[in-house]
Amino acid sequence: MLSLLASRSAGIFNLSDISRGLGIPHTTTTRYMALLEALFLVFRIPPWFANRWKRLVKSPKMHLCDTGLAAYLLGMSTQSLKTDRLAFGRLLETFIAAELKYGDFSGLVSLKETAGSRFTAGYIVYTGEKRLPFGLDFWPVPVQELWR
């Protein structure tokens, strides 16, 4: 199931399609998804609309929390990610979604408080072009620096 979800990371979440793809009952797939979310292996992002009533009829996107695990499950290598731009784009979207969900400044503030003097710096990936201090030992880092 996790391999199938990796292939659909950054895509629209459709539980019925996943159940059919796995050949297991919808109820079983629902329980497995709840377990994978509780284990922080996958997460869903609800759709965003200005009209909150439209949100009720649209599907969320699903992401694996760990893009390294997703790439492994898909059999992707550094070379294949250079040539398969669709897979690269999906994994990049998943990486950024996970950073925004789990790696924001409020999480870093909590980490700094917990770690105390062991905390040296916190980094957040963003779409800007310059590495600038944000204060409190936090640094926004341009996403393109990941490949430099």
Computed over every residue of the chain, the mean pLDDT equals 87
- Model-level pTM greater than 0.85? no
Quick: pLDDT tens for 24-51.
999 999 999 999 999 999 999 987 765 6
**Per-residue pLDDT at 96:** 85
pLDDT at 111 over 60: yes
Q: Is the pLDDT confidence value at 131 over 80? A: no
What pLDDT sits at residue 139? Answer: 81
pLDDT grade for 64, boundaries at 50, 70 and 90: very high
pLDDT over threshold 80, residue 103: no
Determine the 3-state secondary structure of 123 from DSSP: strand
* Average pLDDT estimate for 44-65: 76
**pLDDT computed for residue 76 by the predictor:** 95
Of 139 and 134, more confident: 139
Q: Report the length, in residues, of the chain.
A: 148
Mean pLDDT of 89-111: 83
Percent of all residues in the chain with a pLDDT value above 70, rounded to a whole number: 91
Rounded to whole angstroms, the Cα distance separating 90 from 74 reads: 12
Distances (CA, A) of 10 to 16, 33, 114, 119: 17, 16, 32, 32
Which ranges in the chain belong to alpha helices (H)?
2-7, 15-22, 26-38, 67-73, 78-83, 85-102, 105-115
Alpha carbon distance 135, 116 (integer Å): 16
- Residue pLDDT, tens place only, 74-99: 999 999 999 999 999 999 999 988 87
Pair 58, 45: CB distance under 8 Å: no
